[in-house]
Structure 1
């Protein structure tokens, strides 16, 4: 099943996408209407959505809604670097013996077809197409064998990176957290619908295929990542874990293949779909 957050008639709600019909949680007053609440409600809530979808007249046509980031503001957005063997090779670094985790600040999250800003402060804007885990249950000290039980599903992430700012901060957080640099979506595919460790992953910049790999090449698989993180901190419904990117990133090209205004980046993952975003110049605005 595909879980979505959408905007309809100036209201934002969660639901499920069945074929081209949006099954709105508002159809049942007992269902939470936001994604984190829906995930926390667990399998009974998802089963209720399936029941609602049995009515062929239920639902809103997909063309009438706007899809948003499936988890608009996750409690945590964690990511891992150097997690594909081919990406490690292109960087010239050694294969890590332990996952290299970092944070993306959650204010970077944006959705499908939303513009990604090329920051005024840098022209070194890069893409990283990735499979992302969405946590479904509050958990701590999860073993790899238990991890699949706490995963709600999977979505697509583009870990947009400002490379010079990534280098400035040894934790990488600054270069990974610019506003709009966390596109996710277009939906969450529930964990019972796919094998996360055998999915083709491709990233295009405009019409050029830049990345092509398979999640079977992950150095640390999804369950190991969840287990490791849950040893340190409590994971909660809606938390996002991006699993790393493959070779083909712009910083490793000669000449560099950075993104610029007018470009369009598309990440496709087998069994999930595609996440597309246009690149625009950062607006000349400020917040106080």
Structure 2
């Protein structure tokens, strides 16, 4: 099931997609007409609806069918964040992305070392060790904690902060937790996933290189805390989990396809991510965990860079998309 949130002034309610008619239904308004007994958290809070699982989906489908049949409560929702995210954990999902991004950073910033690295890889037929993920990536899911307060909605402008000259997008998906877990097994963690959403982990690549080389806390401090974006539509896990390793994806900038990729080859599952993250701590409803960048899902990997005024659309089959215009840099920053 595809669900989203309607934000109209102080009104916050759930909208559900009616597949046969390709129509969105205001679930709270439909409940007010057809079944006031279910009106409340399940029709007004998306996380609560997701947590109700089959009971919630059955109720939403029943109301949507009646609403469409009687031409009541059908809406065209404006883009909005589907949930109020309470925390953000960003995982590393694909070794191929890491390797491609690392090669691009070295080519761009350590040109003198590049011939040696290429010779090593050509002769040895393997990736230069320093350009592979850390050893821990093979042992358990790897992640950093991002800034959930700077997540922007589908259609919002991506800000260009004054401390970077090299802005980049990153094509990812995220999962939202809908009930608490702690020290969960992968199966228990998977059962806590309420929905899937497309995510853009916006990055400042010149800052990333500087932080990687000189910071005590690694390359994800100011590099990634100023902005990210997420789609307006969330899809329930019953529609995604059976296909999670075989979803096509794309990056389109101003109508031109820059990259085509897929979710194939992900090292750890979302259940693995959340299981690891829940060790010794509670993860609760509204927390967001993201997949890391799909291979070739960033400008860094393909050496193609977004510019102010361009519109970036990231899409993943069955999950959805997120589209945002790139804002103008401040006067202190000149993109190159």
Indicate yes or no: 2:99 matched with 1:61.
no
RMSD: 2.3
Cα distance per residue 1:170-192 (max 9 Å; x no partner): 161322111xx221112110011
> What CA deviation, in whole Å up to 9, does each residue of 1:87-123 have, x standing for no partner?
1221242243233311221111111111111222212
Deviation at 1:232, TM superposition (A): 4.0
* CA-CA distance at 1:219 after TM superposition: 1.5
Distance in structure 1 (CA, Å) of the matches to 2:187 and 2:27:
34
Whether 1:36 and 2:47 are equivalent positions in the alignment is yes
Q: Work out whether residues 197 and 221 of structure 1, in 8 Å CA contact, stay in contact via their aligned partners in 2.
A: no
Report the counterpart of residue 325 of structure 2 in structure 1: 278
Q: 1:24 aligns with which of 15, 24, 27?
A: 27
- The one of 180, 199, 202 equivalent to 1:160 is 202
The worse-fitting range, judged by mean Cα deviation, of 114-123 and 17-26 is 17-26
- Extract unaligned runs of 5+ from structure 2: 32-37, 104-130, 332-336
Which residue does 2:121 correspond to in 1? none
Aligned to 2:228: 182
TM-score normalised over the length of structure 1: 0.86
Whether 2:272 is the aligned partner of 1:228: answer no
For structure 1, the 5+ residue unaligned runs are none
CA distance in 2 between counterparts of 1:99 and 1:213 reads 22
Shift of 1:43: 4.3
Distance apart, 1:29 and its partner CA: 2.8
Q: 1:251 matched to which residue of 2? A: 300
Supply the distance in 2 between the matched residues of 1:124 and 1:233 (Cα, whole angstroms).
36
Once the 2 structures are TM-superposed, how far is the Cα of residue 125 of structure 1 from its aligned partner? 0.8
Matched residue SS, 2:282? coil
Partner SS, residue 233 of structure 2:
strand
Find the residue that maps to 1:173 and give its secondary structure.
Answer: coil
Paired residues for 1:107-186 under 5 Å = 107-167=149-209, 168=211, 170=218, 172-178=220-226, 181-186=227-232
Deviations, residues 244-277 of structure 1 (Å, cap 9, x unaligned)? 11233222444xx332211111111111222111
1:66 is paired with a residue of what secondary structure?
coil
Change (3 A) 1:246 1:40: closer
Find the residue that maps to 1:174 and give its secondary structure: coil
TM-score (ref. length: structure 2): 0.74
8 Å CA contact retained: 2:141, 2:272: no
User: Which structure's residues are more often strand, by fraction?
Assistant: 1
- Alpha-carbon spacing, 1:166–1:237, altered in 2? closer, same or farther (3 Å): same
Q: Describe the shift of the 1:52–1:177 C-alpha distance in structure 2 as closer, same or farther (beyond 3 A).
A: same
